[in-house]
Structure 1
Amino acid sequence: MNPFLVVKDLTLGLTYKRVPLVEKVSFEVKKGEVLGVLGESGCGKTLTGFSLLRLFPPGISYYSGEVWIDGIPIYSLKEKELCQIRGKKVAIILQDPLSSLNPVLSIKEQLEEVFKAHRPELTKKERFEKMVDLLREVGISDPEIRLKSYPHQLSGGLRQRIMIAIALAGDPEILVADEPTTAIDPTLQIQVLNLLKRLNRERGLTIVFISHDLGVIRWIAHRVAVFYAGEIVELAPIERLFLTPLHPYTQALINSYPKEGKFKVDLKGGVVELSKKPEGCYYQLRCDNPCEKGKTYHPQLLEVVPQHWVRCFRYE
């Protein structure tokens, strides 16, 4: 099966000076697959997710590389053409539903904006019926009442479901989920994860799921891309990654996760500042067993066994 999403050598960085923050990132996602994007805060996960829709925070610019969605070159499109892709072909769930929803518009008004933009053929009555059905699909009871509500009147779990409903309103084929379970309690986390798994299974929805939580990634993803210092350091199927992690950073992440009879162990050091990356391997300052070659040369991402890629000189 041909990949539905292709990212090739994508590089993004600061606008005012040449400092790469996401550096030559490449990966592919098949239709109906869930790719987990894993790493600590500051590794470039969210920036990569936003770049799939060609959205950048202020002060961030596109340097080079390409993104293809269903064969469409996203970075070659004009802005007007891009507006037809966002929401319709690819949509995003943002981290914080309270700050992402408009506080002065009702849920109905915010959902209706998406239907008007991407499904203009629907009548007013048909739009309302679609909105009610969509809220039911994401597990919201009494949808007619909820449509009249404002974000501040809803719980964190309901707001997150509303965000998912807004993302699904344009009937997208790819969903970028940027840490959608971070701001809610563990019980609601399971509900949201089960909802996304059901949408993946029933709709065939392709999902790029961004998180720093290993447990969440293991629950939902088919494959995992581990990010460190703005680049992918390991890419593998989910079970293989957890059973035989190759990169020392992946090993440290997994070892830091709480296990039965063992307290959580903190990772040594912190993520290297992206504007002050060391020469050679970016992980050398935190590595328990740094190699001499890594002090001078930067390792490439290599496929060391079928479908398992790693960026480390130990596996050349």
Structure 2
Amino acid sequence: MSSKERKKYNELLASVKQTERISDIEIEEKLKKLRRLIVLYGIPTSEPNLRPVVWKLLLKVHSLDSHQYLRLVSRGRSSVADKIRNDASRTLKSDGDFQAVVGEHKLIRLLDAFAWQTEERGDGESLYVQGMNVLAAPFLYVQPTELEAFNCFARFIELTCPLYVLPTLEGVHRGLRLVDKCLQIVDNKLYTHLRRHNLTAEIYAFPSVLTLSACTPPLDQVLCLWDFLLAFGPHMNVLCVIAQVLLMRDDLLATTSPMKLLRTFPPLDAQPIISIAVTLVRDIPEDVYDDLVRHCFDPRHEY
């Protein structure tokens, strides 16, 4: 990104942050421009304070209730505390930067607080399902405070992908079916080859769909990919998973044991994955793309 483009980026951010001075329509128009900049250039990593601001703007986290978070934290261990601690101990364990910046205790505290919040708002049961630990991790790593991370995480889960955290993981299983459906549309030869070896997305893509690709290192590339997913919606992760598979296409077609390659995806490289995913949108029929968009949040939508 040139200095001129960076200046434009910063001016746009400054204007979007002035939410009390502009209308909702103007805010949405400026957010559209911001999303376009993210696709074209990403978020400049040379300015470390930029990503946390952009994430909060994209999620529309404009206010923080510190008293509410402290009250939830003060309740201590939730009814799902054992599950949380078991998963937290494994979260990004091999990533030294994450362990140094976040560590296990912050992650446990945030997830316990979220469990208490869902219990108070719902039917008296705490919400915690497999994968939520990995979904919370990037917010804790990016945001400067635990309070900001909690609000971003809660907003992200409740607004954009609530079906991904149902006890049945309904949204995740919908996403996996869409990986198969969209792969068949964009590359029937590769899809047929995988099916010939009894490979469906349920078998090879479950972790990547469950965690919105945050399970695949390195973390810095996960954050770049999440810049894109927060800008355009977590449904785009389905196409990002397909993009990762397409980047392995030649090797997959050349082997009689494709699962050996798919068992562990190659290290994440966000920019080519995003470029391929954006290109794939043009090949997806309108009705299938509508399924894609809705699969994260609309329980009434059937396909």
Q: Which band: TM-score by shorter chain?
A: under 0.3
**Normalization by structure 1: what TM-score?**
0.27
Higher relative contact order (CA 8 A, sep 6+): 1
Query: What's the TM-score once normalised by structure 2's chain length?
Result: 0.27
Q: Rg: which structure is higher?
A: 1
The structure carrying a bigger strand percent of its residues is 1
Larger helix proportion of the pair: 2
